[in-house]
Amino acid sequence: MKVKILVALLVIVVIGLGVLLAIKFVDSEEAKKVVDMSDKDENDVITVGIENKKESEKPKSKYDNDKRNIAVIIDNVGSAIPQTGLNEAMIVYEAYVEGNLTRYLAVFKDPKVEDIGPSRSARPYFIDYAMENDSIFVHYGGSPKALSEVESFNMNNVNGIDSPGKVFWRTNKKQAPHNAIVKVAEVWKYAESRKYRTTAKDRNVLNYVVDEVDLSAGAPATTVNVPYATSKVKYVYNGEKKLYERYVGNSVQKDWLSGEVLTTKNIIITFANNYTTDEENGYGRQAIQNIGTLDGYYISNRNGNKNKM
């Protein structure tokens, strides 16, 4: 099945029991080639059948604890690649920033890694996602509008431009400015020094469970192609691992420090409008109309279903 897309493509992929979320913007010229999940006919109708359970009956996941999460802006260009820590994220949002380049916001709940990054500067829509996840926001600078929103919302944040201590360190293995690594333990030390709240007050945006979701009534989705302007990303299902592996072109992506293949359990694709901001900088920075109910796809265990998100 080839899905026709007319606006922006938002792809969420879940890493292990977590989520990797990518945002892809397209125009009508390339819409028909954006997502290719199978060889089914384009006119096939996909339905959703997900059983609702009472909260008390739902299995608990490793994310069900009261520790607050951290949301880290991660670079995705040049020497920043490959990154480290993404396999430990609950959710990773990937979005265009400017110049057809993308950047991540990775949300971590008690990660089992010491280093995450490289980190980079913030954008306003990443602030939306950090706030809805009740995150401590970790970034290395930001656009003027993003920094203004951090201040106006009085966000608990850690900014590499002005944060004291050893939260960020510059590795000599990568070229600046793509080499600012975040030390997880130092984030918490800094948060405590600023008297930030360190326990969660809100539920996760996504309700994580440990049981498998049956999407067999949907279309086969062994490969999900996401052709960004500057790279062709695809997720290929590994039947032995029961996970999707992320590729750029024909090369599988791996963690910079551990060498692990980047994998995900679930992929959610939604469609949102995007536009160039009026910032007078010539960079072509983007904004996203990401509030409301959007059409989308939920893909897991080699199958995909159409749904409202």
How far apart (Å, rounded) are the C-alpha atoms in residues 36 and 108? 30
pLDDT in tens, 216-264: 888 888 999 887 777 888 999 999 999 999 999 889 999 999 999 999 9
pTM reported for the whole predicted model: 0.82
Residues facing residue 221 across a β-bridge = none
Residues facing residue 122 across a β-bridge = 142
Mean pLDDT score across all residues of the chain:
79
Which stretch, 11-20, 158-167, 278-287, has highest mean pLDDT?
158-167
Categorize the per-residue pLDDT at 38 as very low, low, confident or very high, splitting at 50, 70 and 90. very low
- 22-51: average pLDDT: 38
The pLDDT, as a whole number, for residue 293 is 82
> Which two three-digit tokens encode residue 183?
């030390």
The pLDDT, as a whole number, for residue 21 is 45
Residue 84 has pLDDT above 80, yes or no: yes
Q: Is the Cα torsion angle 83, 60, 67, 202 positive or negative in sign?
A: positive
pLDDT in tens, 135-175: 999 999 999 999 999 999 999 999 999 876 789 999 999 99
Residue 80 has pLDDT above 90, yes or no: yes
The answer to which of 103-107, 183-187, 270-274, 294-298 has the lowest mean pLDDT is 270-274
Break the chain into its structural domains and give their ranges. 1-309
> Which two three-digit tokens encode residue 42?
């384009």
> Which two three-digit tokens encode residue 217?
């009534």
Q: Are 104 and 96 in contact (CB under 8 A)?
A: no
Q: At what angle do helices 124-132 and 144-152 cross, to 10 degrees?
A: 30
The pLDDT, as a whole number, for residue 217 is 83
Residue 63 has pLDDT above 90, yes or no: no
The pLDDT, as a whole number, for residue 99 is 79
pLDDT in tens, 174-193: 999 999 999 999 999 999 99
- 297-307: average pLDDT: 79
261 phi and psi angles, rounded to 5 deg: -70, 135
94 phi and psi angles, rounded to 5 deg: -115, 125
**In the chain, what percentage of residues exceed pLDDT 90?**
45
- At the topology level, CATH places domain 1-309 in YerB-like fold (3.50.90)
The pLDDT, as a whole number, for residue 55 is 52
Residue 1 has pLDDT above 60, yes or no: no
